[in-house]
């Protein structure tokens, strides 16, 4: 299977999830992304939503 430029075979493909852990702060988001890369993540999942209130 190929995702973007990554060929996935027998190696585990690690997906980090950013979610709302950055609390809306771009600097915190960038630090979290860099930490995930250092920890060995292959990609990061971003998810957004609009609350229905």
Beta partners for residue 15, in sequence order: 43
Closest CA to 11 of 20, 1, 21, 26: 1
- Dump pLDDT digits (tens) for 1-53: 787 887 777 778 899 998 776 777 889 889 999 999 999 998 898 877 777 86
> How much is the pTM?
0.66
The C-alpha atoms of residue 22 and residue 40 are separated, in whole angstroms, by 19
Helix H or strand E segment including 10 = none
């Amino acid at each position: 299977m190929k995702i973007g430029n990554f060929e996935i075979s027998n190696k585990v493909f690690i997906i980090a999830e950013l979610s709302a852990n950055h609390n809306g702060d771009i600097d915190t988001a960038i630090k979290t992304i860099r930490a995930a890369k250092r920890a060995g993540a292959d990609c990061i999942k971003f998810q957004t939503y609009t609350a229905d209130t």
